[in-house]
Chains A and B, each alone.
Chain A
């Protein structure tokens, strides 16, 4: 019965040219249009980010001229992020120690605690958590600063003064993030392993010697280097998202706020997604 109704409706549509609106409801129509717009926006944004990135690479030829901007950004992105990253890393290491001890209980001797913390911090926790923290802090501040410059016509003023905003604003932030993220991660790794050490010694009554022995025995240089490679990549992503959404912002305070949110969301999502891709590349393809 239902099949017949459907058929007859189809026939009527084809034969009598029943207006399409009666079958596709208004709601579905707007829904489809929304999906279509989102897909288009996605590809448009991807293209724009790609072009921005290529232009920033080209702009590195002028890195000498803009060295002061690069140094300023290195200080803002690197040194400025250290206190927050330090706290996050300390507790990450501490929590890792507690959780690892709980999970290893009865399976692996507790004297390997240092090794578990070390490897999980170097490979994963250090680079990714640092990138998420820096993504929130630095991604937001880049987007807000460039976004404000955009809506107050400062970016236009740069253009009129023959200063390429890509060279003056985008390239220094990208270079600074690429260089400084691995540096921050080295500190974060050390602090996190120290956090684990504190918990291991004071909470699990492990001797410092045992903890350090495990660290030494299971240290692989590749763990460290692959983590640092990832963090350099994350640095570029964070700065690129901040710059892209900042430059694309329009319409005053509301637009800048929106750009900031988008930059943070995009950099955090991209960090996690690319982490998966990089993990495969670094640990399954390359080695």
Chain B
């Protein structure tokens, strides 16, 4: 495989992905490719399977049908030991931040570093502080997550996700539940991380402001399939009635089932 082929191979590739929970199909044949360094935003209604799609990319959910390729490897039927090697190259920011509430902020950020690299505790903490500074947080490493605001928790989650220098970063609704100013801070952080480190990222959101701002490309997930993809500009100008209804936030013309 020469360099050009390698560049053409998508970092993340999903083909015909199907998944049901309790007999209810959530994903019904999703096809999605993400190129190296690209930032793809997946938009869609709540409960439409966006988070489920994201979890397939890091092995938290196994597909019923279809294939998943991550960083050039077919991970469709991978088990936990196989994943442990690849997971250091993927970071994920969870919807509710998912900080370990029994640990301090510093220990949260250091958790991934501890598993990956053998460092002295002081070095670990120094690296964690550096990561926290990157997301604009100073002198918080001794606090417990419970004493942080929503925006700070999201930023700590971001620092924890990038602590191991991943190549791929997955975001599950990074701006949900934040005020518009904090949402903008997070959006700018996501953008700057992409540009600084050339990260490949997938952002799941239903916040259109965020989607237009952080996405190179937007994919609209509708009824378990990718209904439309395009640049933010193309999505904004889309004539498709279903896409229009979503981006303009109208309930008329859409079957509201969940």
Query: Which A residues lie at the B interface, using CB under 8 A?
Result: 145, 149, 152-154, 156-164
Return the CB mask of B69-80 against A: 1 if under 8 Å, else 0.
000000000001
| Residues of chain A with a CB closer than 8 A to B112's CB | 161-162
**Closest chain A residue to B58 by CB distance?**
A160
Shortest distance between the CB of B92 and any CB in chain A (Å): 5
Quick check: A161 and B55 within 8 Å, CB to CB? no
Quick check: A164 and B95 within 8 Å, CB to CB? no
The residue from A145, A154, A163, A164 contacting B98, defined by CB atoms under 8 A apart? A154
Quick check: B96 and A153 within 8 Å, CB to CB? yes
Quick check: A162 and B91 within 8 Å, CB to CB? no
Known contacts: A156-B55, A157-B92, A157-B94. The answer to whether A162 contacts B87 by CB under 8 A is yes
Known contacts: A152-B96, A153-B98. The answer to whether A160 contacts B91 by CB under 8 A is yes
The residue from A149, A154, A160 contacting B60, defined by CB atoms under 8 A apart? A160
- 11 A-B pairs with CB atoms under 8 Å apart are A145-B102, A153-B95, A154-B99, A157-B99, A157-B160, A159-B60, A159-B80, A160-B92, A161-B87, A162-B116, A164-B80
Nearest 7 CB-CB pairs, A to B?
A: A153-B98, A157-B98, A161-B112, A153-B94, A162-B87, A160-B92, A162-B84
Shortest distance between the CB of A253 and any CB in chain B (Å): 13
Return the CB mask of B97-117 against A: 1 if under 8 Å, else 0.
011111000000001100110
Shortest distance between the CB of A147 and any CB in chain B (Å): 13
| Residues of chain B with a CB closer than 8 A to A154's CB | 98-101
**B90 within 8 Å of A (CB atoms):** yes
The CA of A23 and the CA of B10, in the complex, are separated in Å by 61
| Residues of chain B with a CB closer than 8 A to A164's CB | 80, 84
The CA of A152 and the CA of B102, in the complex, are separated in Å by 13
**B88 within 8 Å of A (CB atoms):** yes
Shortest distance between the CB of B85 and any CB in chain A (Å): 8
The CA of A238 and the CA of B87, in the complex, are separated in Å by 32
The CA of A154 and the CA of B111, in the complex, are separated in Å by 12
The CA of A149 and the CA of B101, in the complex, are separated in Å by 9
| Residues of chain B with a CB closer than 8 A to A153's CB | 94-96, 98
**Closest chain A residue to B163 by CB distance?**
A161
The CA of A163 and the CA of B98, in the complex, are separated in Å by 14
The CA of A153 and the CA of B93, in the complex, are separated in Å by 10
The residue from B87, B95, B96, B116 contacting A160, defined by CB atoms under 8 A apart? B87
| Residues of chain B with a CB closer than 8 A to A158's CB | 100
Shortest distance between the CB of A124 and any CB in chain B (Å): 36
| Residues of chain A with a CB closer than 8 A to B59's CB | 159
| Residues of chain B with a CB closer than 8 A to A160's CB | 58, 60, 87, 90-92
The CA of A154 and the CA of B101, in the complex, are separated in Å by 9
| Residues of chain B with a CB closer than 8 A to A152's CB | 96, 98
| Residues of chain A with a CB closer than 8 A to B80's CB | 159, 164
| Residues of chain B with a CB closer than 8 A to A163's CB | 111, 115
Shortest distance between the CB of A55 and any CB in chain B (Å): 10
| Residues of chain B with a CB closer than 8 A to A162's CB | 84, 87-88, 112, 115-116
**Closest chain A residue to B84 by CB distance?**
A162
B40-88 residues at the A interface, CB under 8 angstroms = 55, 58-60, 80, 83-84, 87-88
| Residues of chain A with a CB closer than 8 A to B58's CB | 159-160
The CA of A195 and the CA of B172, in the complex, are separated in Å by 57
Shortest distance between the CB of B168 and any CB in chain A (Å): 11
Q: Which interface residue of A156, A159, A160, A162 has the most chain B CB atoms within 10 A?
A: A160
Shortest distance between the CB of A214 and any CB in chain B (Å): 48
The CA of A163 and the CA of B80, in the complex, are separated in Å by 11
The CA of A159 and the CA of B83, in the complex, are separated in Å by 9
| Residues of chain A with a CB closer than 8 A to B99's CB | 154, 157
**Closest chain A residue to B101 by CB distance?**
A154
Shortest distance between the CB of B52 and any CB in chain A (Å): 12
The CA of A159 and the CA of B100, in the complex, are separated in Å by 12
| Residues of chain A with a CB closer than 8 A to B91's CB | 160
| Residues of chain A with a CB closer than 8 A to B60's CB | 156, 159-160
The CA of A26 and the CA of B65, in the complex, are separated in Å by 36
The CA of A152 and the CA of B97, in the complex, are separated in Å by 8
| Residues of chain A with a CB closer than 8 A to B96's CB | 152-153
**Closest chain A residue to B61 by CB distance?**
A156
The CA of A271 and the CA of B58, in the complex, are separated in Å by 39
The CA of A60 and the CA of B59, in the complex, are separated in Å by 24
Quick check: B98 and A161 within 8 Å, CB to CB? no
Q: Which interface residue of A145, A156, A158, A161 has the most chain B CB atoms within 10 A?
A: A161
Shortest distance between the CB of B99 and any CB in chain A (Å): 7
The CA of A157 and the CA of B102, in the complex, are separated in Å by 14
The CA of A40 and the CA of B91, in the complex, are separated in Å by 38
| Residues of chain B with a CB closer than 8 A to A161's CB | 87, 111-112, 115, 160, 164
Shortest distance between the CB of A86 and any CB in chain B (Å): 26
Shortest distance between the CB of B111 and any CB in chain A (Å): 5
Inter-chain pairs besides A157-B92, A160-B87, A161-B160, 17 sampled, C-beta below 8 Å:
A149-B100, A152-B96, A153-B94, A153-B95, A157-B94, A157-B160, A159-B58, A159-B59, A159-B60, A159-B80, A160-B90, A160-B92, A161-B87, A161-B111, A162-B116, A163-B111, A163-B115
